[in-house]
Amino acid sequence: MKRIAAMLVLIALLLLPCAHASNNYSVLTNCDIMRRGSRGDNVRRIQQALINMGYLSGNADGSYGSKTEAAVRDFQW
């Protein structure tokens, strides 16, 4: 149950910044897209969710690097 809740939190964190977007491309360009090099609280929350689900080890440092990128890729599969 805890794993399902963590997965739902991660999905929400990945999608909520763009929840207001429509099919209009100009609206989508204003969304916060997380990718390698991104930093901040949103990245930290994503990392913590990945750690809770076992996809990432270590501490949530708020820096989207190669390990976070690999963990997100593993989660998506």
* Position 73 pLDDT exceeds 50: yes
Question: Please, are residues 77 and 12 in contact by the beta-carbon 8 Å criterion?
Answer: no
Q: What domains can you pick out in the chain, each with its CATH number?
A: 2-76 (1.10.101)
Query: What is the pLDDT at residue 30?
Result: 47
- Angle at CA 40, nearest 5°, toward 20 and 63? 120
Alpha-carbon gap, residue 40 to 5, rounded angstroms: 22
pLDDT band at 26 (very low <50, low <70, confident <90, very high): very low
Backbone φ and ψ of 47, nearest 5°: -60, -45
